[in-house]
Structure 1
């Protein structure tokens, strides 16, 4: 088998979201893919589900350890057999045309290009909450941290191998931001305006995760602006202020206010259309062996 795109998913206790993420892959209009699933120390049923997928395009790896997403991403890139690599998180949902449209965009550019897309924001109940907009202009330095909605990206496998994710613990929650800041000077970043992912964020806020991301961003500020004291101080204090606000909102159980600022509202027709696509994905059958109760 010689697939055109490798999809990489590292998972750790994704719960009920995992099935829908997998359904969205099998619902793709582009079928020349391989799927690499790496268990990062799950204790739920997700590994059993992965091992029971009866499709030669699926490869499952488990070493019983919890190493972190940044390390697993590099592992999946090294295991990939396809010329292109597509990121995916275990709790998100691909639009059925994601691979088709990103593949067409990738083959029109050289291998020094990363392609992402806009995304629908969905909540814990997999309902469409809004639209996550995209960056239309490429930024440099620390500003490049917001270049992509991280689970939407795809690039040549060789690009990912030349530009590995940092395995430094400080970037365990902000490995994508670090990568974009490091590579923006010599890589072309492109975002497709069409939402090609359902990004789960509304109603799933975790202050622990937010703090982990902020610590990585604070370190990035130091890397880029340690020799520019005023700029460093301004950005550092701004990030600390955002972290403090998030902490306060979380204490009062109103952190959803912070999340809602990340996405734009949609018209009733747009919500209806995007929900209809999501409903179709939910009806996709998985090629499960013994786990008939999941069908």
Structure 2
């Protein structure tokens, strides 16, 4: 292990696992900085490619410390780097990304001239060969942002080390999403800031695109849950309402079987598995559904809803008021109301719990399930179609990101609803769901796809 300088202003550390193809460019981007008051710590985390050979060329370079270890994982390695670091400020650089030559100077000046705990920048998205795909421009966090639910990148964010230690560094219970977890710690304790200049290059390639979405979303759910544990969210009174129409169909979708279970059974069992939901109310004007549920042994409220509240042109707010009024002795005064549509049988229980936990963590009025919309969306302005997002494919503005709402996955703070009579409004938060959560069995294609995926899940 080659040791570095004694008291640098900035510590940059790099964790590497099998990125021998890219790491030299990353290292050189630090060594070529216009700013000189830094150290570079390179930790190879059990690579089996040519990484050690590449890193070895820098072992005798001034300012560089090199460490080789058996694979310990990202968060453990992050904490090792923090313990070794000597700087006042610290930044992680992923071994496949690289910095603009002025990054350390600009970002350290940003921390020098403020009281914020961390600072981050815009960035270039590049392909595996280093060609720029687009410039990603973040919000102006100083002037435009009041809801901090879009975190900075875990890497290439400069952090005040004193505050990082106060926040207990990285939680080693999580195997990914270290930046998200750290962000949640920081926004509750310290100021955060950003610089609207692109100061690093984020490489998009096959190795980092293959991270499973399931793993990311489930880890974020666990992180949010951890960070609201002190609020005793699960002890509050959370009501889930399942509005089911069905009266105009020869065979209600609710009673159709997907595999060995009806659609309504799948939905009820999904919500019963929730850690947060206190009471479930299934409300339907279809007597067939009512009679079916009354024969089951579920501990739920089965409501024979007046038909005038179930018409296509009626809003769900009327049903909510009717249920809270009619069943007040059974459900008392709710803390939250969650609306859950049964036509999406591949949804996971965690999404319902995450809606509620997100509402409490970010202290918003309502939370909806969404999918990021990456396709170009057009509108007609009289003279033809024009894109409403991505007008310039080389510039991606965070303020123009679009999200497609997933129907029937909404939680609203009941005190907000009681005042405003709206389920979506006020300060609106969001959770991202996977594609399976958007598949609606009301269409023939959606049914066939759900059958296939449901069968595959049952098999293994």
Identify the TM-score tier after normalising by the shorter chain. 0.7 to 0.9
Structure 1 or 2: larger strand share? Answer: 2
Partner residue, 2:159: 155
Structure 1 or 2: larger helix share? Answer: 1
Runs of 4+ aligned residues of structure 1 deviating over 4 Å after TM superposition are 202-205, 225-232, 234-243, 261-264
Q: Secondary structure at the match of 1:151?
A: coil
Larger RCO (alpha carbons 8 Å, 6+ apart): 1
Partner residue, 1:293: none
Match of 1:265 among 390, 393, 409: 393
Partner residue, 1:289: none
Q: Give the 5 Å matches for 1:1-295.
A: 1=5, 2-53=7-58, 54-63=60-69, 65-110=70-115, 112-137=116-141, 144=148, 146-163=150-167, 164-168=169-173, 171-201=174-204, 205-223=208-226, 224=228, 226=234, 227=236, 229=277, 230=337, 233=352, 235=354, 265-266=393-394
Q: Is the 8 A contact 1:102 1:154 kept in 2?
A: yes
User: Residues 55 and 16 of structure 1: is their aligned pair in 2 closer, same or farther, counting only changes over 3 Å?
Assistant: same
Q: Secondary structure at the match of 1:91?
A: coil
Q: RMSD between aligned alpha carbons?
A: 3.1
CA distance in 1, matches of 2:138, 2:28: 25
- CA distances 1:238-287 after superposition (whole Å, capped 9, x unpaired): 999859x99xxxxxxxxxxxxxx9997327xxxxxxxxxxxxxxxxxxxx
Question: Deviation of residue 11 (structure 1)?
Answer: 0.4
User: Residues 45 and 240 of structure 1: is their aligned pair in 2 closer, same or farther, counting only changes over 3 Å?
Assistant: farther
CA distance in 1, matches of 2:180, 2:368: 14
Deviates more, 1:94-103 or 1:25-34: 25-34
User: Which 5+ residue runs of structure 1 have no aligned equivalent?
Assistant: 247-260, 268-295
TM-score (norm 2): 0.48
User: Which 5+ residue runs of structure 2 have no aligned equivalent?
Assistant: 239-276, 278-336, 339-350, 357-366, 375-388, 396-460
- CA distances 1:151-184 after superposition (whole Å, capped 9, x unpaired): 221022222222211100xx22111111111221
Partner residue, 2:451: none
Question: Deviation of residue 212 (structure 1)?
Answer: 2.4
TM-score (norm 1): 0.73
Q: Look at both structures and tell me which one has the larger radius of gyration over its CA atoms.
A: 2
CA distance in 2, matches of 1:194, 1:13: 30
